[in-house]
Structure 1
Amino acid sequence: MTRMKYSTRLMVRCAKMYYEDDMNQDEISENLQISKSTVSRILAAARKEGIVKIIVDNPLKDDYIQLEREMENKFGLKEVIIVDSGSDVKETKRNLGRAAAEYIQRIIKDGQIIGVTWGTTLREIPQFVENDRKRKVTFIPMLGGIGEVEADIHPNQIALELAKRFNADSKLLHAPYQVDSMHRKESLITDKNICEFFKLFDSIDVALMGIGSPLLNTSTLVESGYYTMEDIKMLVQQGAVADISSLFIDKDGNGDKFEFNKRVIGIDLERIKKIPLTIGIAGAVEKKDAILAAIRGKYIKVLIVDEGAARSILNEN
């Protein structure tokens, strides 16, 4: 089909109406007595002919857009959000928490169930939530309580704090994170309340998950009371490089070989993969292998990461 040649005058007039006078395509169509589809084609032609030039004046000090797109394309991620690497670990975690808060405020919808895991990065999120209306969503933990470590990094507490900030609802899982035998687990998950709670895992719409590393989190894992240093050494020897919702995975994202995973009271890895939107949050160059394992295992669709870790991941691949 031969493409229509539009006059320069028509392209300029149409462009001025659209870009300078803020008229929409329906209004231009009526004004110029042409169809809306013709208006669209004229505007496209004006850009192609160089009559319209679009310049984005980016006020950001550090522009990570290109780096984010590179990671999205390379790893097939829905979205990547890169933040500044702070002067120390605490600042980096705050930057990640702020970005995660902005992201979930943008994407959550009424009626959704939002699952959360635990950790020192996720606990930074609630303080950055800016919300002045009731959100009809429900926050739930994706696993039981994490032993003796600080209460504010527990999944129940993070779910509660986020629900508070969003003027939303929360449901809590009153169970330990892990038990010492499969017999004990089977007994626990047949409890009526816990059994009902587990059904919620199939209805999670959005998951907020920290990405941990047994190589870096040894003190927190040991402090939890569920692991000894010998346990950590054994996990590393077996190939564990990351944990998601406290489920260990190897460099390829597989978790079947880790016996500890079977005794966790919480969501399992296969269910995580089925959640429509999974958000992985992690920072530090040292977590490169853990983040890559989570990506390879298809556990995350959105990644919120700091610049140092992002560049390290791209350089590795």
Structure 2
Amino acid sequence: MAVEREQDVLRAASMYYLQDLKMEVIARHLGTSRSTVSRLIKRARQTGLVEITLRPGSTRAPGLARTISAAYGIDAYVVPVPDSASHIDRLDQVSITAARLLSSWFDSDMVLGVAWGTTLAAVSRYLSPKPTRGSTVVQLNGAANMRTSGVEYASDLISSFGSAFGAAVHHFSVPAFFDYPETKRAMWRERSVQRVLDMQRRADIAVFSVGAVAGAVPSHVYSAGYLDEDDVRLLHAEGVVGDVCTVFIRADGSWQDVHLNERATGPTPAELARIPRRLCVVAGDNKVVPLLAALRAGVVTDLVVDEVTATELLDAVEPTHRRPRPRR
């Protein structure tokens, strides 16, 4: 879009939203047609120049966001939803907000790390096209599993982020979990794998959700053939409540001595914490416990969560855990 065109978008949006002028009046001011003004205003919304926010008087979202932000030293975005909202509605609203935030943050010459999963698939559907230059999208964790390859699912998801931003895409063609730790150590010495790992380490932003071991809506990693029955029993025995990027964590945020993590291909919480901005996207009752674990592990800098889940998160926290923590 030419500079003059960008100025027209700004002028049209300002007159429409700030001065409350009708489109016919704006068209006369700009010397153009009403249909052109309509397109300019639509363009202003698509590019993020204009953001429309509804603030119902009864929502608890702003107060919940401030409380979560103060407790964990993060930026929290609590999306207002009715208590009666279905899981799908909550996921959609959270995904819309997360997609808009990513579009506002991600730009040319940046690297975005994406962890596959049901929530991120929903986020990808709401990404508005934003052309960038010299940018990269990199897959954070492998996807192959025992029942199906899993690669196509993750590949399509990662590619959708790349398409939205006009970015180069780096897939991670390894299993979600190796059968043996020594196999992972050998693969990590391969140059093709090292190139992807190096790109992950260069990420400016990471976007991920949390997986839940239990709950009415099982997370993808626990329902799509990535773990066998012995693995699941071992996770329960070791007190695991969920995962971040397919690395398992306990309720207290610990992960270092969980045996299955020796076979996992996602970044550990320590590796993830080196990425400057880490966006966690969460919706659903079964995500409360693993979300709390992720917050305690210090892997989150920015959180998008629905109002119902945010309320349950704070209800689950003991007073001693509500003290502010330094931001990592």
TM range (shorter): 0.7 to 0.9
Specify which structure has the bigger relative contact order, considering alpha-carbon pairs within 8 angstroms and separated by 6 or more residues. Answer: 2
The answer to which of 181-190 and 289-298 deviates more is 181-190
Partner of 2:75 in structure 1?
Answer: 78
Partner SS, residue 96 of structure 2: helix
Question: Does the CA-based 8 Å contact 2:79-2:93 persist in structure 1?
Answer: no
Match status 1:174 vs 2:176: no
Gaps of 5+ in 1: 1-57
Partner SS, residue 128 of structure 1: coil
The answer to which of 184-193 and 216-225 deviates more is 216-225
Question: Does the CA-based 8 Å contact 2:144-2:174 persist in structure 1?
Answer: no
Following TM superposition, by how much is the alpha carbon of 1:157 offset from its aligned partner in structure 2, in angstroms?
2.7
The Cα offsets for residues 6-32 of structure 1, whole Å up to 9 and x where unpaired, read as: xxxxxxxxxxxxxxxxxxxxxxxxxxx
The Cα offsets for residues 228-282 of structure 1, whole Å up to 9 and x where unpaired, read as: 2332132122111120000001111110121111111232221101110011111
**Residues 97 and 146 of structure 1: CA distance in aligned 2, closer, same or farther (over 3 Å):** farther
Amino acid at match of 1:66: G
Partner of 2:55 in structure 1?
Answer: 60
Matches within 5 A, 1:95-114: 95-114=93-112
Amino acid at match of 1:224: A
Question: Does the CA-based 8 Å contact 1:92-1:306 persist in structure 2?
Answer: yes
The Cα offsets for residues 68-112 of structure 1, whole Å up to 9 and x where unpaired, read as: 112111221133333426732222222221111011011123211
Question: Does the CA-based 8 Å contact 2:172-2:196 persist in structure 1?
Answer: yes
Following TM superposition, by how much is the alpha carbon of 1:138 offset from its aligned partner in structure 2, in angstroms?
0.9
Partner of 1:128 in structure 2?
Answer: 126
Aligned length in residues:
262
Partner SS, residue 242 of structure 1: strand
The alignment's C-alpha RMSD in Å is: 2.6
Larger of the two Rg values belongs to structure: 1
Following TM superposition, by how much is the alpha carbon of 1:316 offset from its aligned partner in structure 2, in angstroms?
2.4
The Cα offsets for residues 109-144 of structure 1, whole Å up to 9 and x where unpaired, read as: 321111011111110112211225335421111011
Partner of 1:256 in structure 2?
Answer: 256
Amino acid at match of 2:291: I
Partner SS, residue 236 of structure 1: helix
Question: Does the CA-based 8 Å contact 1:222-1:228 persist in structure 2?
Answer: no
The answer to which of 107-116 and 227-236 deviates more is 227-236
Partner SS, residue 121 of structure 1: helix
Q: CA–CA distance in 1 between the matches of 2:151 and 2:178? A: 22
Partner SS, residue 241 of structure 1: strand
* TM-score using structure 1 length: 0.75
Partner SS, residue 299 of structure 1: coil
Matches within 5 A, 1:219-298: 220-298=220-298
Q: CA–CA distance in 1 between the matches of 2:88 and 2:277? A: 27
- Kindly, what percent of the aligned residue pairs are identical? 20
Q: CA–CA distance in 2 between the matches of 1:171 and 1:292? A: 30
Partner SS, residue 260 of structure 1: helix
Q: CA–CA distance in 2 between the matches of 1:234 and 1:304? A: 31
Partner SS, residue 125 of structure 2: helix
Q: CA–CA distance in 2 between the matches of 1:235 and 1:97? A: 29
Matches within 5 A, 1:190-201: 190-201=189-200
Gaps of 5+ in 2: 1-52, 318-328
The answer to which of 276-285 and 86-95 deviates more is 86-95
Partner of 2:158 in structure 1?
Answer: 159
Question: Does the CA-based 8 Å contact 1:96-1:304 persist in structure 2?
Answer: yes
Matches within 5 A, 1:16-95: 59-61=54-56, 63=59, 64-84=61-81, 87-95=85-93
**Residues 308 and 135 of structure 1: CA distance in aligned 2, closer, same or farther (over 3 Å):** farther
Amino acid at match of 1:120: T
Q: Which runs of 4+ in 1 moved over 6 A?
A: none
Question: Does the CA-based 8 Å contact 1:116-1:140 persist in structure 2?
Answer: yes
Question: Does the CA-based 8 Å contact 1:116-1:207 persist in structure 2?
Answer: yes
Partner of 2:188 in structure 1?
Answer: 189
The Cα offsets for residues 133-185 of structure 1, whole Å up to 9 and x where unpaired, read as: 33542111101114246959944332211111122221111111111112211
Question: Does the CA-based 8 Å contact 1:130-1:165 persist in structure 2?
Answer: yes
Q: CA–CA distance in 1 between the matches of 2:202 and 2:118? A: 26
**Residues 276 and 236 of structure 1: CA distance in aligned 2, closer, same or farther (over 3 Å):** same
Q: CA–CA distance in 2 between the matches of 1:258 and 1:152? A: 25
Following TM superposition, by how much is the alpha carbon of 1:60 offset from its aligned partner in structure 2, in angstroms?
2.4
